[in-house]
């Protein structure tokens, strides 16, 4: 835990929670609470499942950037991305529960095998962001802000 503690201490959890809540609220306002709940309960690939995945995958990039957690050190980035994605997963489940669209008995939304796939995608995004300092904003705009 000591290893992840140094990454966790860099995260502004208030901003992370507000960011996730804003995205969830905006998406539910656009799609409708009933539709979002039906798509979550179906547990199938849908617009909603794609958006929720992007909240963690792409949203983690926003949080990593805001908290200056992207470096040239691959080991540092791995610890950072895992810590942020886990926090995003918890915040996502909490936000969905507050909006009454997720009533599963779990403090997280995605299970670990699903998160491991998302971790791999975030690692690719980090490498792209290191190569192109303008990579993150259009990514967040296209996959998150343009959907709410």
> For 3-52, what is each residue's pLDDT tens digit?
667 788 889 899 999 999 999 999 999 999 999 999 999 988 999 999 99
pLDDT digits (tens, 9 = 90+) for 58-82: 999 999 999 999 998 878 899 999 9
> What is the total count of domains within the chain?
1
What's the half-sphere exposure (Cβ side, CA atoms, 13 Å) at 20?
30
Domain that holds residue 67: 2-147
This prediction's pTM: 0.92
Q: State how far the Cα of 32 lies from the Cα of 30, in Å rounded to an integer.
A: 6
């Amino acid at each position: 835990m000591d290893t992840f503690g140094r990454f966790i201490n860099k995260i502004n959890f208030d901003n992370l929670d507000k960011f996730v809540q804003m995205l969830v609220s905006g998406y539910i306002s656009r799609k409708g609470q009933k539709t979002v709940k039906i798509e979550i309960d179906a547990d199938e690939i849908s617009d909603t499942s794609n958006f929720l995945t992007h909240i963690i995958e792409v949203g983690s990039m926003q949080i990593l950037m805001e908290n200056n957690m992207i470096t040239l050190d691959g080991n540092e980035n791995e610890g950072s991305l895992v810590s942020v994605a886990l926090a995003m997963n918890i915040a996502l489940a909490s936000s969905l529960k507050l909006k009454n669209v997720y009533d599963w008995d779990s403090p997280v939304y995605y299970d670990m095998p699903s998160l491991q796939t998302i971790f791999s995608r975030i690692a690719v995004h980090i490498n792209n962001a290191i190569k192109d300092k303008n990579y993150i904003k259009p990514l967040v705009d296209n996959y998150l802000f343009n959907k709410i």
